[in-house]
Copies of this chain bind each other. A is one copy, B any other.
């Protein structure tokens, strides 16, 4: 056996990112936004989501606000006031977006796995 083993080789990682944008280009809808939408669906409040994710309400709100501006329609139905202070829930379109994104992402993940394996085998320096 040689001096170096598998674990000794430098590990190179493949990464990819997926997002939606408007044609004008400001703001994007990426994993963070989808994550927030998903949690809104579970918790019914943006504040609760922000706490859960340990991010500021301002930040969470910004993601959703950006997303709705990009798409041009509401993903969430908001209400204010009352004993509970208010709440946020997904609109029908918000749910549709989440579902569509999930299958989109899944498809990319599959491609990623396959392509990465092939890529590494092509790259590996298997000369004697």
Contacts and interface: CB of A to CB of B under 8 A. Distances in A.
Copies of this chain per assembly: 2
Given A13-B22, A104-B118, 14 more contacts: A13-B20, A15-B18, A15-B28, A16-B19, A16-B108, A73-B125, A96-B122, A100-B119, A103-B115, A103-B119, A104-B119, A107-B114, A108-B111, A108-B115
Contacts of A103: 115, 118-119, 122
Nearest to A18: B16
A70 interface: yes
Nearest to A19: B15
A53 interface: no
B10 A71 contact: yes
A1 B119 CA distance: 50
B125 A115 contact: no
